[in-house]
Amino acid sequence: MTATPHATDRAALVTGATAGAGYRTAQALAARGLTVLISGDDRTRGAAAAARLRRRAGHDRVYFLRADHSTVAGNLALAAAVAERVDRLGVLVNNAGGAYPQRRETADGYESTLATNVIGPFTLTRALLPLVRRPGARCVNVVSPGGAGFTGDPFSDVHSVRHYTAAAASARAGLLALAWTLELARRERAWGPRVFAADPGAGRSAPPPRPRPGRLPAPRPLRRIARTRQRRTHRAALAAATTWELAGATGSLLDPSGRRVPLAPGVLDGEFTERAWALVDGLAGAAAHGRAVD
């Protein structure tokens, strides 16, 4: 597959990009000559990441924007900050996300996995559509599509009030994120950006903690495999953002290597994606007006 040429007149936003896959995605885009905005919740870490990216890219068009990705207000504020910095975006990569062993809620009163992985990116994307609604622009949502195996009704108890497990919350979030991504692609197919869901694969999250005293560390070959997987978690997002051959493939899910994954007939059909869109849109709108929805 062929990557786009250097494009110094284009800008990209990569959320959650102070480390890990988001950082590597931002690094690759900056190396291609794009102006790159990165966001994160830690100002010190973000400034340091932006400085490293500028040095490696060989230009100074890399900027850090502090953001709270977990709340609707935080994402709207980020969109406003982006609009103050650039008048258009060629690439938007929604990479920020999270998984939580114990149930927790955001300042909006929403379950954190749903808020950070689904409602937040939706809010940001909707707010930035005027900047990316043009032919050739790319909108990439980093989605872990394990939710295809979600059991139960994804529209019931969406905040996991009655029962919470990290695996179930992540699966629901992955399913709903993929659904609204496909619905966005359908709605913007004629004149809007090309829209993709990118599967980061295993290792998207931070490395596991060091073993506790008395426990043996993982064998060295396994540690090497884990590090290699983490270094590759940005491939799908980068392919979606830069590959010419995907220009006509809006609404595609890309596997961790950047290849298109065919969706089985009937999976995430139009009725389901519309319902997911309506749910997320309602939650985002309620939070924007200070009314959390159960």
Question: 98-116 pLDDT, tens per residue?
Answer: 999 999 999 999 999 999 9
- Token output for 76: 């709207």
For residue 124, pLDDT over 50 is answered with yes
CATH number at residue 148: 3.40.50.720
Highest mean pLDDT among 154-158, 179-183, 268-272: 179-183
Is 1 among the domain residues? Answer: no
Highest mean pLDDT among 2-6, 23-27, 265-269: 23-27
Residue 149's pLDDT is 58
Confidence of residue 13 (pLDDT cuts 50, 70, 90): very high
For residue 120, pLDDT over 60 is answered with yes
Residue 148's pLDDT is 55
Residue 293's pLDDT is 54
Is 70 among the domain residues? Answer: yes
**What's the rounded mean pLDDT across residues 62-72?**
98
Number of domains in the chain: 1
Is 41 among the domain residues? Answer: yes
The 3-state DSSP class for residue 77 equals helix
Is 115 among the domain residues? Answer: yes
Q: Between 2 and 171, whose confidence is greater?
A: 171
For residue 93, pLDDT over 70 is answered with yes
Is 144 among the domain residues? Answer: yes
Q: Between 5 and 277, whose confidence is greater?
A: 277
Residue 100: DSSP 8-state: -
Q: In 3D, which of 150, 151, 120, 164 has the Cα closest to residue 288? A: 120
Is 250 among the domain residues? Answer: yes
Could you list the beta-strand ranges (E) of 76-208. 91-94, 138-142, 194-198
Q: Which amino acid is residue 109, in one-letter code? A: G
The percentage of the chain sitting over the pLDDT mark of 70, rounded to a whole number, equals 82
- Token output for 221: 């070959």
Q: Which helix (H) or strand (E) holds 47?
A: helix 43-57
Lowest mean pLDDT among 79-88, 91-100, 239-248: 239-248
Edge-to-edge strands, sheet with 194-198? 62-66, 35-40, 11-14, 91-94, 138-142, 194-198, 252-254, 260-261
At 15-57, the pLDDT tens digits run 999 999 999 999 999 999 999 999 999 999 999 999 999 999 9
Is 293 among the domain residues? Answer: no
For residue 193, pLDDT over 90 is answered with yes
Q: Residue 65's domain spans which residues?
A: 11-288
Residue 112's pLDDT is 98
Provide the mean pLDDT of the chain: 87
For residue 233, pLDDT over 80 is answered with no
Which residues are within 8 A (CB) of 96 and not within 5 positions of it... i.e. 6 or more apart? 15, 16, 22, 39, 40, 67, 69, 116, 120, 121
Is 4 among the domain residues? Answer: no
